Structure 1
Amino acid sequence: MKREAFPVVGTTAAQRDPAIDLVRFTCLLLVVVAHCMMVSPVLHKDGTVETRNVLMEQTWFTPVLWVLMIVPLFFVLGGVTGLQSWRRLKAAGGTGFDFAQLRLLRLVRPAMALLAVMWGGLWIALLLGVHPQVIQLMTTGAAMPLWFLAAYLTAQLSIPLMARFHERAPLLTFVSLLIAVSTIDSLRGTIPVLAYTNMIFVWCAVQELGFMKADGFFEDRSRTWLVGAVVSSNLVLGLITGVGVYAGNMVVNINPPNLCLVLLGISQTATLQLLAPGLRWLGEVRWIRAVIAVAGRRSMTVYLWHLPVLVGMSGMLLLTDVPKPLPESAEWWWARIPVFLAVVALLVPVVLLFGRLEDRPMAASHARGPARTAVVTAAVVVFVPVTDAALNGLTLALLGGGAACFALSVLLLGRVPTPVLSPAEAVPAEVPGVTLPAHDLRANLES
C-alpha cells in the first residue's frame, strides 16, 4: 500500500538565532585550520612515508585543546536545531521514522559521494604505481570524518526518543546519561570494548545540553550561575585529569569519548550563553551574514571533504620538487597559511560538484512501503562499515564497501515518501546558494 508523503503545514518556524550560525561556522573554520596545522607527511629516501602530527607534538597544545576541542559544541548546536526540527515535523504529523529518514539522507548522501570518489581515485592511483603506503595514508584521510559522521548520526537519530525523555524530565534525563557515562568509564579498564558504548551516552548527554538551551534553561540562568558552571566544570575536569583518571589531552579522550567531553560540553554551553548577546550582534552584521549564508549552507560537504583534500594535496606534493620545510621549523609554520588557502581553493570545485547532495530531499512520487523496514535497514547498512572503520581502521577495501553500503542506504530511503515542507517552512536553496536566506537566517537549518 502506497504511503502518501505528508506536507508540513500549520507549524511555526523557530526564529533562527544568528549566534548559533556564527558559532557553527567558526567551529568548522577552526577544524579546517587545525587540521592544516596537523598533517605533515614526510617521504623518506627508501620510498616509505611517515606521517607526523606536528600540532599534537607541541607541549603547549594540550592546555589549548581545552579551549579548541569544539566537538562537544557541535553536538550542543545539533541538539538545539535538531529538537526544533523534530518538533516542527511532529506538529505536522510526522513520526520518528520520518525524522530518521530525513537525517539519514541528508548526512549519508554527501558521505556516499566522498567514499565513492576516494575509492575510485585511489584504485586508479594504485594501478598507476603509487606506493601502497601512500594509498593507505590517503585512505586514512577519510577515517576521521567517518567516525564523526557515525557519532553525530547516532545522536541525531536518537532525537525523537530523547526528546520524549527531555519533555518529561530534562534534568533527570541529563543526570541519568551522566551516570551511564561514568559507569561505563569505570568499567573501561575491565571491559575495554564497552567504552565504545559511550559513543551513544556521551553524545546524547551533550546533545541534551542543546535541548536544554533550546528550551531556555541556560537563558534563564543568571550570569553568576553561568560563570559558576564554566568554572566548576573546568575544575572537575582539571581534577580528574590531574590525578590521572583521564588523559589531559582531549584528543585522546574523544575516541572512545568519556566524561571529559561532557564536562567540556557544560562549559561550552554556559560560555555560549554568556557570549550570546555579542555573538548575536556579530551574526547580524551584513557581510558576516553573507559569508555564513554561503559557507554555512554546505558545511557537511566542507567537513567531509577538507581532510581528504588536505591529505591528497600533501601526498601529491611529496611527488614534486616543491620545497618542503622541515616540520616544526619557522618556515613550516608560516607555510600553513598557503596550505590553508590552497585547501579552501580546492574545496570550491568540490562544493560546486557535490554540495547539492546536502539539499533537503524531495518527496519520491515512486515510493512504496514498507517505510519503517526500509529506514531501519538503511540505518543498519550505514552503521556496519563505519563501526568496522572505528574499531579496526579504514582500508581501501572498506572504503569501497562503505561507498556501496551508503549507496544501498540511499536507494532504500529513496523508496520511502519524504515529508515535504510547505513554502513557508522550506529551507531556501538549502546549502550554499548564491542567494541569501530570509531575515531569520536559516543557513544550514536542519529542518
Structure 2
Amino acid sequence: MVPQQRAAGGPPPAPDRDPVIDLARFFCLALVVVGHSMMVSPVLHPDGTVTSENTLGDQRWFEPVVWVLQIMPLFFVAGGITGLQSWRRLHARGGTAMYFVQGRLLRLIRPAAVLLAVMFTGLSAALLAGVDPQVIQLLTSGAGMPLWFLAAYLAAQFNLPWLAALHGRAPWLTLAGLTALVVAVDCLRGVLPPLAYLNMVFVWCAVQQLGFIVADSRQLKPGRSALFGIMVASNALLGLLVLLGLYSGNMLVNLNPPNLTLLLLGVSQAAALQLFRPALFRIASQPWVRRLVGLAGRWSMTVYLWHLPLLAAMSGMLLLTNFPQPAGGTAAWWWGRPLVLICVIALLLPVVALFGRLEGRPTPYDPLTGRPAAAVLLAAVAVFVPAVDAVFNGLTLGLLGGGAACFALAVVLLARIPVRHTPRTARSGASKPPLPHPPLSANVEP
C-alpha cells in the first residue's frame, strides 16, 4: 500500500476503510426507505380530489420514537468523517478545493439529473394521457422530497475544504461559531420566517463538523463514561428546550427547515457512534454483513433518490385501479406495509441495474482532468437555484423540467474529458504516488 502523505494543517488520514461508518450509513439508508414506506398514504376523496397523508408522522405515539430514529444527523456525522479523510488524502497529493468540490458535485448530481429527467418525461406523458393534474402534482411534490437532502448535503460538502482548514486550526471554536449561527437564525426566524432556511446550511455544516471531531477523536481519547455523559447531557438539554415550548418535540417537524434540535441530536448520535463502536465493529466485520453493506454502499445515492419517486408512482397508479385502498392508520393499512416495502425493493432492483453505474467511483487526482473554478461555481449555481426554488415554492412539473435541464448543464460543466492515462513520469516527470486503489477509495461517501 502506498504510504499516506500528511496534509498541511491536519493529522495523517486514516489508511483503511472504516467498516463501522459503512454500517452506520447502511443503517441510515435502510431506515429511511422503511420509514417512507410507512408514511406515504395518498387518499382519493369522493369528490375526486387527491391528498396525501403522512400516516406514521401523524401518530402521537410516534413522536418519542422518531426522537430516537431521526438518523439524518448521523448521516451528516458519517459524511463529515469520511469527507474529511477524503479531502486530506486529495490535498496531500496536491488536489485543490475546487477539484474536491467538482468530484463531489459530479457524483451526486449525475444520478439526480437522470432522475429528474425521467420524472419529468414520465409525468408529462401521464398528463398528456389524461391523468388528473391533481394526481400529477401530488406525485411531483411527493417524489421530489429527497431533493432537499441533496441540496443540504451538497452545501455541506461544498463548504468542507475551508471548514476543514478552520477545524485544523481551532476545532472547538469552529463548532461553537457554527452553533452560534444556528441559534441566531432560530431566534430571528419568528421575525423573518424565510431566514429559517439558512439553517439548511448552518445546521448541517455544524453536524458535519461533529464528524470532523469524531475523525480526530484518537487525539482526544474520550472514555466511555464521558461519551455516555455527552449523550445524556445533549438529550437532557433537548428535552428541556421542548418542555419550555421553544421547539417542537416532533423531530419530523424540526427537520425542514432544521433547527438546534437536530444539532443536539447530532451530538448525541456522534457520541453513541463512538460509545458503541466496539460492538458495531464486531457486527460490521462479519463476512455476510460486509458483503451486504458493500453492495448497498455502491448504489446508496441511487437507492435514496429513487425509492420515494417509485413509492409515490406505485401509490398513484393504485389510485387509478380498483385495488383495495384501506384508510391510513387502520389495521388493514398496517398489515399492508410489509407488502408495500417488498414492492418498492422489487422496483428498485431494475432501477439500480440501469442507473446505479452513474454514481461511479472517485478518480485519482489529475490536474489534467480538473475543471476551471468558474465552471465549478457555475455548476453549483445551476444546481442550487432550482433546489432553493423547490424549498420555497414547492416542486411543480415545470420546475421539475427546469431542474433536469439545470442539473444536466451542471453535469456538462463538471464532466471530465476522457483521456488516455499514461504513467505520470511519461507526461511530466512527476513522481507523486497515485491515490489508493479500491476498495480503499470506495469509502468516500456520495
Question: What is the identity, as a one-letter code, of the residue corresponding to 1:379?
Answer: A
1:31-180 matches, within 5 Å, as 31-180=32-181
Q: What root-mean-square deviation, in Å, do the aligned CA atoms of Structure 1 and Structure 2 show? A: 2.4
State how far apart, in whole Å, the 2-side matches of 1:320 and 1:384 are: 37
Residue number in structure 2 paired with 1:267: 268
Residue number in structure 1 paired with 2:351: 350
Return the TM-score normalized by structure 1.
Answer: 0.91
Residues 365, 435 of structure 2: 8 Å contact kept: no
Q: Deviations over 1:263-289 (max 9, x none)?
A: 000000001111111111000111111
Q: In 2 relative to 1, CA 132–367 (structure 1 residues): closer, same or farther, beyond 3 Å? A: farther
Specify which of 425, 430, 437 is matched with residue 436 of structure 2. 425
Question: What is the identity, as a one-letter code, of the residue corresponding to 2:301?
Answer: M
Return the TM-score normalized by structure 2.
Answer: 0.91
Residue number in structure 1 paired with 2:425: none
Residue number in structure 2 paired with 1:393: 394
Offset of 1:385 from its aligned partner? 0.2
State how far apart, in whole Å, the 1-side matches of 2:363 and 2:174 are: 34
1:310-389 matches, within 5 Å, as 310-360=311-361, 371-389=372-390
Q: Deviations over 1:23-56 (max 9, x none)?
A: 1101100000100000111112332212111101
Identical-pair percentage:
59
Offset of 1:425 from its aligned partner? 1.5
State how far apart, in whole Å, the 2-side matches of 1:53 and 1:89 are: 43
Residues 203, 259 of structure 2: 8 Å contact kept: yes
SS at match of 1:52: strand
Q: Which runs of 4+ in 1 moved over 3 A?
A: 8-13, 361-370, 415-418, 420-424
State how far apart, in whole Å, the 2-side matches of 1:219 and 1:283 are: 24
Q: In 2 relative to 1, CA 268–413 (structure 1 residues): closer, same or farther, beyond 3 Å? A: same
Residues 117, 404 of structure 2: 8 Å contact kept: yes
Residue number in structure 2 paired with 1:19: 20
Residue number in structure 2 paired with 1:309: 310
The reply to whether residue 445 of structure 1 matches residue 444 of structure 2 is yes
State how far apart, in whole Å, the 1-side matches of 2:165 and 2:51 are: 49
State how far apart, in whole Å, the 2-side matches of 1:118 and 1:186 are: 38
Q: In 2 relative to 1, CA 415–358 (structure 1 residues): closer, same or farther, beyond 3 Å? A: closer
State how far apart, in whole Å, the 2-side matches of 1:229 and 1:218 are: 17
Residues 113, 407 of structure 2: 8 Å contact kept: yes
Question: What is the identity, as a one-letter code, of the residue corresponding to 1:393?
Answer: G
Question: What is the identity, as a one-letter code, of the residue corresponding to 2:329?
Answer: E
SS at match of 1:14: coil
Q: In 2 relative to 1, CA 204–417 (structure 1 residues): closer, same or farther, beyond 3 Å? A: farther
Aligned residues: 427
Residues 298, 444 of structure 1: 8 Å contact kept: no
State how far apart, in whole Å, the 2-side matches of 1:235 and 1:253 are: 17
Residues 37, 54 of structure 1: 8 Å contact kept: yes
Residue number in structure 2 paired with 1:290: 291
Question: What is the identity, as a one-letter code, of the residue corresponding to 2:99?
Answer: D
Offset of 1:241 from its aligned partner? 1.0
Q: In 2 relative to 1, CA 417–177 (structure 1 residues): closer, same or farther, beyond 3 Å? A: farther
1:127-276 matches, within 5 Å, as 127-216=128-217, 220-276=221-277
Residue number in structure 1 paired with 2:427: none
Residues 184, 194 of structure 1: 8 Å contact kept: yes
State how far apart, in whole Å, the 1-side matches of 2:292 and 2:212 are: 27
Unaligned ranges ≥5, structure 1: 1-7, 428-436
State how far apart, in whole Å, the 2-side matches of 1:267 and 1:48 are: 43
Of 326-335 and 73-82, deviating more is 326-335
Q: In 2 relative to 1, CA 269–361 (structure 1 residues): closer, same or farther, beyond 3 Å? A: closer
State how far apart, in whole Å, the 2-side matches of 1:217 and 1:173 are: 19
State how far apart, in whole Å, the 1-side matches of 2:281 and 2:295 are: 18
State how far apart, in whole Å, the 2-side matches of 1:306 and 1:288 are: 22
Of 361-370 and 82-91, deviating more is 361-370
